[in-house]
Structure 1
Amino acid sequence: MSEFETIRFERTGSIARITLNRPEAANGLNQVVGRELATAAGLCADDPTIKVVTLTGAGRFFSAGGDLKAMAAAKDDGMGAYVKALADDLHEAMSLFARMDALLIVGVNGTAAGAGFSMAVAGDLVVAAESASFTMAYTRAGLSPDGGASYYLPRLIGVRRTQQLMLENRTLSAAEALDWGLLHRVVPDAELAATVDELAERFAAGPKSANAHVKKLLLVTYAHTLEEQMGTEATFIADCADGADGQEGIAAFLGKRSPNFS
């Protein structure tokens, strides 16, 4: 879409594809990227016909994180204010991605550092190329993490391993990130795009409502008691059963045929 300068936003049927598109700057995040990511995330969240969103990077990097040159250039006007505005836009995008009904599939095509790391692990499904690597790198630049890293990482891998990443700035290979539980799959570099597309097509043919309810259940699980979570489960499964996809899924199972979800 022509209105975007630093990302590509493409729509094919019920799949939206977002590509970070500053390869000359390692897909680093400046204020334009932050605003455009938030806008693209809003478009995806507001469109009920979008069932899957993919996110990847152009070139060799997924994203090197915050653009430190842009931050330094804002020093005279207030570097803190610049970084806060960038973080606010990024966080709006991350919140929308997490709470939208569509699934977010992240294809990590190269180095994911800083906020790039934060964005990568926030996917509902995360696939990485074999050459990808992951590092927080914030404290190396005298900064603390953003992008939801301090929310997702302890839940995915525990506090001790999160401390290693955030304080020691340990770099993980794709294989190590998979072993730690940060990824769902690692594939050869040449197969990444096709794998992400195959997953997107598969879930685009699936039950959007059921997948959306899975996302919502997992978002609240740590905030609920067992009884509260089971109450939410009961409400959600009833909602699915009343919906077209639930009724089609049950009918297809009983009829021993493939479902045709809306």
Structure 2
Amino acid sequence: MSIRLEKANGLATIIFDNPHCMNVMGAAEIRSLNQLTELLAEDRSIRVVIIRAEGKVFGAGGDIASFKPGDPASPEAIREIGAELNQAILRLHKLPAIVIASVHGAVAGGSMGTMNAADLVVAAKGTRFNMAYAKIGASPDVGNTWFLPRLVGNRKALEWLLFSENFDADEALAFGLINLVVPPEQLKDVTEKLAMRLLRGPQETYARMKRLVYQSDATSLEQQVNDEIEAFASITMTPDFAEGVSAFLDKRTAHFGCKLN
């Protein structure tokens, strides 16, 4: 399979495994990703998700060779497969679990959208990023025009989209597109250590933090502070909150174990 899912002890890993084709996303890959994200959305035991890829690159975006410019059937075909890709990206972004993208080599076009749907991004030093759409005269998809302005601002988003030039991991880090840059040989280890740290944390608290942060773009300050208090009030009834307060007062490390609701 060109995309596979591995699950163990609360950790799920989505692996793009089509290195001979630079992990491009064709119709088959999109349908597979849609199915895998549906499984993740239904599995409440999953607390952390890693997205990574085999081979020399994380992903080269869509399968350009499959496009049929000028074909009267092309617009409807794009709408149909695009709807499946949209479902997959929305599910990834809305998961209560924390999603970490672990990227290397190159990330281009639609693969940027997959990366941007994650909550945290770790990149190998030397990774090259490119929006790429303008190079083939295409309009962006996979949520890129929604994620990019929120992550780096309108001006930088437009610069990357309009000129479609390569930029490196250091620039991506400087503008807030990614969280960490690590030596390539440490990428897997650093990503897994982050995942393990999150798995040991207060899961319901993490889920509420994620929800509050992402809703803030669409809510007023008044609504946001009220929602924060409601979340805090609910959290006080969880075993993790009791353990956290007890550990703080006892000056010891907290041992959380509450699962996602």
TM bucket (normalised to shorter chain) is over 0.9
Q: CA separation in 1, counterparts of 2:196 and 2:77?
A: 38
- Structure 2: give runs of 5+ residues left out of the alignment: none
Answering whether residue 189 of structure 2 is matched by residue 194 of structure 1, we say yes
Given that 1:34 and 1:90 are in contact with CA atoms closer than 8 Å, whether structure 2 keeps it comes out as yes
Q: CA separation in 2, counterparts of 1:170 and 1:241?
A: 49
Relative distance call for 1:77 and 1:29 in structure 2 (3 A) is farther
Answering whether residue 161 of structure 2 is matched by residue 166 of structure 1, we say yes
Q: CA separation in 2, counterparts of 1:154 and 1:253?
A: 39
State the secondary structure of the residue aligned to 2:236: helix
State the secondary structure of the residue aligned to 1:202: helix
Q: CA separation in 1, counterparts of 2:249 and 2:83?
A: 48
42, 46, 65: which one aligns with 1:46: 42
Q: CA separation in 2, counterparts of 1:79 and 1:7?
A: 25
Q: Which residue of 2 aligns with 1:24?
A: 20
State the Cα deviation string for residues 15-54 of structure 1 (Å, max 9, x = none).
0011111111111111111111122112222111111000
For residue 149 of structure 1, what is the amino acid of its counterpart? N
Q: Which residue of 2 aligns with 1:102?
A: 97
Q: Which residue of 2 aligns with 1:211?
A: 206
- Runs of 4+ aligned residues of structure 1 deviating over 4 Å after TM superposition are 74-77
1:75 deviates by 6.9
Q: Which residue of 1 aligns with 2:53?
A: 57
State the secondary structure of the residue aligned to 1:192: helix
Q: CA separation in 2, counterparts of 1:261 and 1:29?
A: 38
Given that 1:118 and 1:148 are in contact with CA atoms closer than 8 Å, whether structure 2 keeps it comes out as yes
Answering whether residue 139 of structure 2 is matched by residue 144 of structure 1, we say yes
State the secondary structure of the residue aligned to 1:143: coil
Answering whether residue 149 of structure 2 is matched by residue 154 of structure 1, we say yes
Q: Which moved more, 1:157-166 or 1:81-90?
A: 81-90
205, 213, 223: which one aligns with 1:228: 223
For residue 12 of structure 2, what is the amino acid of its counterpart? A
Relative distance call for 1:75 and 1:34 in structure 2 (3 A) is farther
Given that 1:71 and 1:82 are in contact with CA atoms closer than 8 Å, whether structure 2 keeps it comes out as no
For residue 86 of structure 1, what is the amino acid of its counterpart? I
State the Cα deviation string for residues 218-257 of structure 1 (Å, max 9, x = none).
1110111110000111111112111222222122212222
Q: Which residue of 2 aligns with 1:132?
A: 127
State the Cα deviation string for residues 170-193 of structure 1 (Å, max 9, x = none).
221011111111110000111101
For residue 27 of structure 1, what is the amino acid of its counterpart? N
1:158 deviates by 0.7
Answering whether residue 78 of structure 2 is matched by residue 83 of structure 1, we say yes
State the Cα deviation string for residues 147-170 of structure 1 (Å, max 9, x = none).
111111111111111110111112
**TM-score, structure 1 as length reference:** 0.94
State the secondary structure of the residue aligned to 1:63: coil
Answering whether residue 69 of structure 2 is matched by residue 69 of structure 1, we say no
State the secondary structure of the residue aligned to 2:185: helix
State the secondary structure of the residue aligned to 2:101: strand
User: How many matched pairs?
Assistant: 257
